[in-house]
Structure formats: C-alpha cells, structure tokens
Structure 1
Amino acid sequence: MNDGAVSATTERVLGLFEGVRLTPTQRRIAHCLVQHAPSVGYLSAAEVAELAGVSQPSVTRFATALGHDGYPALRRRLRELTAGPTGRPGGTGNQLQQAVRAEIGNLDRLAGQLADPDRIAEAGRLLAASRPLPVLGLRAAAPLAAYFAYFAAKVHPDVRVLDTGGSLLTDRLERAADAGANALLALVLPRYPRETFEALREARSAGLTIVAVTDSPVSPATDHADLVLPAGVGTGLVFDLHTAPMTLAMVLLQALCDAAPAETQRRLEAFEVSAARRQLFVS
C-alpha cells in the first residue's frame, strides 16, 4: 500500500472515534489502531491488547463503546475501512520520495483542520496572556520547542524552554507558575517520554492551562491537555518526520501574535532597531 493510501486509511480509522468519549485505556487502544491502520483489520483482540498494553477484556469493552456487539464486529468494520486496491497507483518513486509525499499528505490534512481557526485563535490567546510562557518539549520534541521559543521570544517578554527532564524540570515549572504563568505549551511527539506526562501532571497541579501539539487526536497527551492540536508525524523513514508539527507550531505562533497585535508590532520594531544597531545580520 502506498503512503497516500496509508494516510487515507488512518483518516478513516480515526473517524471511528469522532464524538465518542474514551477512557484513558480506550485511548491507548484507539492510538494502537491508528498506528497499525494498514493491517489493523487482521489483528485479533489478543494482538491488539498486547500492542496497546491492555487486557483483552478492555479491547472487547472498547469495541462495545464504539457501538459494536463485540470485537469481531469492530474488526469487520476495520477491514471495510482499510480495504484498498491491490495495485500501487500513485505509488511511484523510491522510499524517500514516498516519505516526502506522505508529508505532503500530513500538511494537507493540517490545512483542512485550519478551515475552522477558532481553536488555534483560542490557543494563541491563552499563550499570549501567560507571563511567563513555559514551552515544554523533551527528547524528539526538544528541537521543536527551541524553534518555537526562538521566534516567540521576539514578540513575548518571557518565554521559558523546558527541554530537559529530571527533578529540575519540576523546579522550573514551579518557578514559572510562581512568576505568574497560567498556561503551558507542550510539544508531545512519539516516542512519548514518561517524563513529559509527569511534567504535565505537575503543570496541571500548579494550575496551568495546557495547550498540546501532538501527533494524533488519540495521542496519550489528550488525557493531560486542556486544548489538543494534532498534526501527523511521518513514519516513512528510520526516524520520524516532524514537518506538520513544526508547521502547526508556527501557525500557533501566528495566533499568539494575532492575539496581541499592538504589542507584537512594538516588539518586532524594537528588535529590528536593535539588530540594525548591532549589525546582527549580513542582509
């Protein structure tokens, strides 16, 4: 199956969960089904349970929660959703080209989500109003946290990157809350570090509103965040591609700027004056 077909299959499987309130265990099962979308219709309940790290009865209850009589009925539905042509029309090119084309698909789906900009605008207002603004990103998400924070610091007076774990991470979260932070941007990408979720629990205990950029609407991050913004991660190469999450982070930064346009303009102009005085750039 080509990458475009895989992406379409993933979308159809995700559609099973729309409008259904899932428990944390059921979210793990749902995430497992999305991760294995191309072959999920041929997995047994025991195999799904093993992959998701849950019990087999939990898989049966999950199927019932989705409106099916049991897992066999859900599996039949999954086979219908994942069935596709046996050939590879549109699957031309080598593995590298197909991986890039899959990223184009992730960006296209992200563009579709942005047809309704209200959630992004809400997130922008929450982040703009938080002084300071902590930005959490551990392991694979650390470069994305730094990238967002680099530009956010040009328009926000106090951006704090939290990109290392351990006990110091809790210290830095607590200091941010004590200094007046009321929101946290969390970048949560696979593989999901355990410390990320520990930090999110600490942030919630400190009263912070959590905005999460993650790879899927059934990501484990949804159990910890107040506002979830999904963007697909490419899996066609040895290591994941984060093109869509990076784009979403920049869209979110635009929303932050739009939430405080006068202050944004003032800070950008001040930076340009400072940059010119110090001759920071050659052009």
Structure 2
Amino acid sequence: MSGSSPAARLQRLFEGRRLTPTQRRIAHSMVRRAADAPFLSSVELAELAGVSQPSVTRFAVALGFDGYPALRKHLREVSPVDAADAADADGLEDTLNEYQQAVRAEIENLRQLSELLADPAPVERAGRLLAASRPLLVLGLRAASSQARGFGYFAAKVHPDVRVVDEGGSMLHDRVDAARRAGASALMCFALPRHPREVVDALAYAREQGLTVVTVADSAFAPVAAHSDLLIPAAVGTGLAFDTACAPMLMGRVLLEAMCDGLPEAQARLEDFDARAAARGLFVE
C-alpha cells in the first residue's frame, strides 16, 4: 500500500463496506483530508464531518476496529506522512488567505484525481459505454447542471445523438423513457452536493429501464453510488461560500476523450465542424 496516495489507501479501506449515510459522510471527510486523517482526534473528525463523536466511534467499529484509536493507529502505520510534515503543511496553510487556501484545496483535489487515473480501466470502460449509446442521455441537476451542459455541448460535436437533461420535474422520467425507446443504453450523470432527491430517484428509474449508469460524483460515498453501475469520484472544493468543481469538470473532459476513442467517426466530425465554422465565420481568431 505504500506506493499509493493517502486518499487511495483510504478509499480501499472503505470499499465494499455497508456504511450508513452518517458513516459515508465521515469516510468522505477523511478522504478529503487524507494526509491529515492519521493525526485527527475523534473530536476533530466529528467536527469536520458534522457528526457526533459517538458516530465516529461507531464508524471505526463498522470498519472492524476496536474503536477510533485503533483505526487511527492503523492509518499511521500505513501512511508515509509523518506528524512533522503535517505540521509544516498546517503552518503553510496558516500563511495563506482564504482565496489561496481554496485554490490549494482544488490543487489537492486534482492531485487525487491524477492518482485515481493511474488505473485508466474504469474511464476506458465508461468511454466505450457512452460511445455505444444511441442516443446518449446526460443528466445533471442544480449544482451539477453546468457540468452536464458542458459535457453535452462537447459530446454533441462527436456523438450523433446527445440529450441533456438539466432540469427536474415531472418530465424527468419521461425523458428517460423517450431515450430508452429511441435505443439508449447508457446514461451519463454528474452528481454534486447538495444531492437532489430527484437525481437519486431518476438513476434508480433509469436502471430499472435497463440503462447503464455512469456517474461522476464528489465522492464514492455519495447518495447516487447505490444507483450507479460505474462511479468515478472527483472531489469538490468547499473552502468558499459556494463549492468549486474543477475536478468534476476535468473528469468530464477525460470521459469525453475516452468516448472519442470509441467513436471512429469522431475526428471526421470535428474536422467537418471546423470547416463549417470557418465558412460561417463563427469564431473571431
């Protein structure tokens, strides 16, 4: 385990566990602060996750440890980060203003995403699923609507039939039904906090109708995980008044790249678009 990042080691520790929503919140908080996790007290972790201290103890027991001290001892044994390094990092953070800290947090999110992509197999599988779906349904509501629209905008340049659903309501299931009747085999979902109940319900319904669900979410423990066939986590930043989503956006672009690999006509479509755009004088360059 020493060759992987602290976040990756934590993810493996939590994989396959049947955790309650509160325990998933604790796990998510630990992954977000992976380098600090071995040095957090139960009180500090509880405050970080917004739960009670007994909840942290129950979480450790659910993972198979005698209590939180045993979990923390395990994390220290498998982590290459020592307390001095953690203290130095904390000292640096203290010298940065809130805007710089938000940027630093996003850099860390991107670093974790890079570690995740060391194994390209899940992304490659997702690319094949999305490329093969005719039409391709793309879902993202509320905070995730911009991610869905951005993905859909670029996907439409290379995929013959992309349908973006970025508003909820009573028509949502109808849109799923229409896509399925037209031949859709996959649904691409962007799910970011706070997670709308409509998204969870829509994914459950889509799977009932036979669609394969590929999801980019802020955490492997997000509420949509139980209704996703393939979930790729990409953390959001929470240091500002509104969450920042650089990692989910980049993950969307990575999936577009993987999807293009599964579309033999993708390059020809892009060249055709460029030719028509030049003829129309579409861009000022």
Distance 1:138 1:132 in 2: 19
Distance 2:107 2:72 in 1: 29
**1:184 match:** 187
Letter in 1 for 2:211: L
Distance 1:68 1:173 in 2: 43
Deviations 1:204-239, CA, capped at 9 Å, x for gaps = 111110111011122222211111111111111111
Alignment TM-score, normalising by the size of structure 2: 0.82
Instruction: Summarize the alignment of residues 73-222 of structure 1 with structure 2, pairs less than 5 Å apart.
Output: 73-74=70-71, 84-85=86-87, 88-91=90-93, 92-222=95-225
Report sequence identity in percent. Answer: 50
Deviation of 1:61 (Å): 6.0
SS, match of residue 194 in structure 2: coil
SS, match of residue 13 in structure 2: coil
Distance 2:220 2:133 in 1: 25
Q: Is the 8 A contact 1:123 1:211 kept in 2?
A: yes
Deviation of 1:116 (Å): 1.6
Deviation of 1:20 (Å): 3.9
Deviation of 1:110 (Å): 1.0
Distance 2:57 2:11 in 1: 15
Deviation of 1:271 (Å): 1.2
In the alignment, which of 238, 242, 245 is matched to residue 239 of structure 1? 242
The answer for unaligned runs of 5 or more in structure 1 is 1-7
1:18 partnered with 2:13: yes
Deviation of 1:150 (Å): 0.4
Alignment TM-score, normalising by the size of structure 1: 0.82
Distance 1:32 1:190 in 2: 15
Alpha-carbon distance change, 112 to 16 in structure 1, aligned in 2, over 3 angstroms: closer
Alpha-carbon distance change, 24 to 135 in structure 1, aligned in 2, over 3 angstroms: farther
SS, match of residue 228 in structure 1: strand
Alpha-carbon distance change, 28 to 126 in structure 1, aligned in 2, over 3 angstroms: farther
1:66 partnered with 2:63: yes
Distance 1:171 1:52 in 2: 38
**1:30 match:** 24
Deviation of 1:250 (Å): 0.3
The answer for unaligned runs of 5 or more in structure 2 is none
Alpha-carbon distance change, 87 to 28 in structure 1, aligned in 2, over 3 angstroms: closer
1:43 partnered with 2:38: no
**1:264 match:** 266
Q: Is the 8 A contact 1:41 1:79 kept in 2?
A: no
Letter in 1 for 2:267: Q
Tell me how large the CA RMSD over aligned residues is: 3.0
**1:279 match:** 281
Alpha-carbon distance change, 108 to 73 in structure 1, aligned in 2, over 3 angstroms: closer
